[in-house]
Amino acid sequence: MADYFVARGIPVPAELRRTPLTDWRRWGTIALSLLVVYIGLRITDIDISRANPEYASGVLLSLFRWDFSILFPQNQFETFWDAGLGLMIVTIFLGIIATVFAVLISLPLSFLGARNIMTGHPLTAAVYGAIRILFTIIRSIDVLIVVILFSIIFGLGSAAGVFGLAFHNIGVLGKLYSEAIEGIDPGPGEAITATGANRFQVIWTAMIPQIVNPFISFTIYRLDTNVRLAPIIGLVGGGGIGVLLFQTVNLFEYPKAGVIIFMIVVTVATMDFISAQIRKQLV
Amino acid sequence: MLPAVPRILTIQDLAKIYPGGTKALDGISLDVERGEFVVLIGLSGSGKSTLLRCVNRLVEPTSGRVIFDGIDVTAASGDELRRIRRRIGMIFQQFNLVRRVSVFANVLSGRLGYRPLWRTVAFRPSREDVALAFENLQRVGILEKAFARADALSGGQQQRVGIARALMQRPELMLADEPVASLDPATSHSVMKYLEEINQKDGITVICSLHFLSLARRYGTRVVALKAGQIAFDGDPEAIDERRFREIYGEDAVEVEIGPERHRDARELVAAAARVADPAAVDPDLPPDR
């Protein structure tokens, strides 16, 4: 491209001039990437010699010899809610309840974490900063770690699962909501302020209508994610279908585990589909 | 002899320096009488928007005073400021309607400054407010669109909703920040005529910033030109001749007419624009490419 300028005697734009520095950066980046992969392979000791294809294929096949008895009570001591189907329903509601708790707390907090609402006064600006840092810290603790920590407080079971999931989601939803508020058009707020409305009326009349749809969209997205996460938190003591899955795998009851995995896949796929459809309507 | 009622607006030595050092207003002093239709002209960045926004304190002036109907706006705060604001209507270049809600709800929101908080929260406007909203919508000719979503309307219709919203305040002063800069010439006239009507019939004082000098001559009773945050001209619209025009807009500027009511051929406009010797020269009468 630079020859166009050279041929006409026009100075070549700096962007087109090749310098040793840009070349050096490019090769340096490639070399560094390769080095990281090499070191990674050396120190992680990835060993595939222990793989046992015959045993694995046997297990995989048995996962598909579905034993549906796990879905229903197997003796007079179990109720419907102790068996697979009941626990799946419980798990879906774990995800829903966790989302509700998270929304209830993150919704008011998100207004305090929105720059366009909190500017203007040093105190409110400080609150804004604190809330956003809080969201980031909460969000950076993975949900499995949170559930393990909460199971120390609440013991193994649904409480640890729900509160752990909700806690993590306060960070996620808080950030999503806050950014939705920050993304709104400031014009209507300015116009409503000019009519002599107070701050609350401005937020209520000019801002809320602009954020309702993004808020619903984000909430459904997190609901979907939480129902997807709910079976997993059972594995670390959060209650629900995950506990049963863990038990069947430990007891080598692969045909039963296969049914549970299939049931989870169907549930998650259904949620995913419904959530996508609803959010498409909201755009 | 002293006037019986205080002057509608007095601006004394007003200055605004934005954070970052931009001097938007540099010592503006201006008296506006009741019933005037003042047109603000000047290049983009000359301080027109800032001046209008300092009047109702959407922008906080750095120094100077704004006195509205004998009340010091610059000294007011809280409830007092809101009581002043509700007597001053404002319309905007981008209309600034809440796009997702109905035209009716937008017009009603002009009444917020008079409304108790619970009515806002419960969406329960009073019977009088509802009647007033319909009345104002009828006045700007879009009553049949009352329950359409605001963003379903054309630009000209949205600006009329903006006017109806401002009229809800029963304002004594109307600020208009480039109300027709986003509209085509024909629609511009229809919007300007509503401003003219509220000025002449209701006696509402209007301060309106405009890009088109031809519109300024047609509608203004007085033109105030700003240049670099100072007043470069203040007087009769007809007094702006070519020399004054160049003083306001710069040496390279050429005035481009935009057809007043009788519609000019679009080609004529393009030809006029092409006559500008240096295309990079700022041409105030071409619509801004926002």
Distance CA B286, CA B282 (A): 9
Q: Do B97 and A196 touch (CB under 8 A)?
A: no
Q: Do B98 and A198 touch (CB under 8 A)?
A: no
Candidate from B83, B94, B96 with C-beta closest to A196 = B83
- The continuous run of DSSP H or E covering A108 comes out as helix A84-112
Q: What is the pLDDT of residues B226-276, one digit of tens each?
A: 999 999 999 998 888 888 888 888 777 777 666 555 444 444 444 444 444
Q: Do A195 and B98 touch (CB under 8 A)?
A: no
DSSP letters for A205-266: IIIHHHHHHHHHHHHHHHHHHHHHHHHHHHHTT--SHHHHHHHHHHTT-HHHHHHHHHHHHH
Whether the per-residue pLDDT at B288 is higher than 60: the answer is: no
Angle at B243 between CA B238 and CA B247, to 5 degrees: 100
- Min Cα separation B189/chain A (Å): 23
pLDDT of residue B1: 56
| Inter-residue contact A114 to A182 (CB < 8 Å) | yes
Q: Do A194 and B112 touch (CB under 8 A)?
A: no
Q: Find where tokens 């009047």 sit.
A: B55
Judged by a CB distance cut-off of 8 A, whether residue A20 touches chain B is no
Candidate from A187, A194, A200 with C-beta closest to B85 = A194
Candidate from A188, A197, A209 with C-beta closest to B96 = A188
pTM: 0.78
- Min Cα separation B108/chain A (Å): 10
Judged by a CB distance cut-off of 8 A, whether residue B240 touches chain A is no
CB pairs under 8 A between A and B: 81
What is the pLDDT tens value at each position of chain A, 283 positions in all?
A: 778 888 888 888 887 777 766 678 888 999 999 999 999 999 998 888 888 888 888 888 988 888 888 888 888 888 888 888 999 999 999 999 999 999 999 999 999 999 988 887 889 999 999 999 999 999 999 999 999 999 999 988 889 999 999 999 999 999 999 999 999 999 999 999 999 999 889 999 999 999 999 999 999 999 999 999 998 888 887 788 988 998 899 999 999 999 999 999 999 999 899 988 988 888 6
Q: What is the pLDDT of residues B135-164, one digit of tens each?
A: 999 999 999 999 999 999 999 999 999 999
**Alpha-carbon distance values, B208 to A261, B181, B244 (Å):** 68, 11, 20
Candidate from A190, A196, A213 with C-beta closest to B112 = A196
Q: What is the pLDDT of residues A122-176, one digit of tens each?
A: 899 999 999 999 999 999 999 999 999 999 999 888 899 999 999 999 999 999 9
Lowest-pLDDT range, A24-28, A168-172, B76-80, B128-132? Answer: A24-28
Whether the per-residue pLDDT at B280 is higher than 50: the answer is: no
pLDDT of residue A11: 86
ipTM value for the complex: 0.82
Token digits for B21?
Answer: 């050092």
DSSP letters for A10-50: PPPPGGG---HHHHHHHHHHHHHHHHHHHHHHHHHT---TT
Average pLDDT over residues B13-20: 93
Candidate from B92, B113, B165 with C-beta closest to A196 = B113
Kindly indicate the confidence band of residue B97, based on its pLDDT and cuts at 50, 70 and 90.
Answer: very high
pLDDT of residue A119: 83
Candidate from A185, A197, A212 with C-beta closest to B112 = A197
Q: Do B114 and A204 touch (CB under 8 A)?
A: no
Question: Which residues on adjacent β-strands are paired with residue B173?
Answer: B88, B205
Q: Which residues of B touch A198 (CB under 8 A)?
A: 82, 117
Please state the separation of Cα B216 from the chain's center in Å: 12
- The continuous run of DSSP H or E covering B224 comes out as strand B222-227
- Min Cα separation A216/chain B (Å): 15
CB atoms within 10 A of CB B224: 23
Q: What is the pLDDT of residues B35-67, one digit of tens each?
A: 999 999 998 889 999 999 999 999 999 999 999
Q: Which ranges constitute the DSSP H helices of chain B?
A: 48-55, 78-85, 103-108, 117-121, 127-139, 155-167, 185-201, 213-219, 242-249, 266-274
pLDDT of residue B196: 95
Q: Mean pLDDT across chain B, nearest whole number? A: 86
Measuring CA to CA, which residue among B88, B44, B261, B47 is closest to residue B176?
A: B88
Judged by a CB distance cut-off of 8 A, whether residue A216 touches chain B is no
DSSP letters for B31-78: EE-TT-EEEEE--TTSSHHHHHHHHTTSS--SEEEEEETTEETTT--H
Judged by a CB distance cut-off of 8 A, whether residue A213 touches chain B is yes
User: Which residue of B109, B136, B175, B290 is the best one to mutate when testing the A interface, meaning the one whose CB has the most A CBs within 10 A?
Assistant: B109
Q: Which residues of B touch A196 (CB under 8 A)?
A: 82-87, 112-114, 169
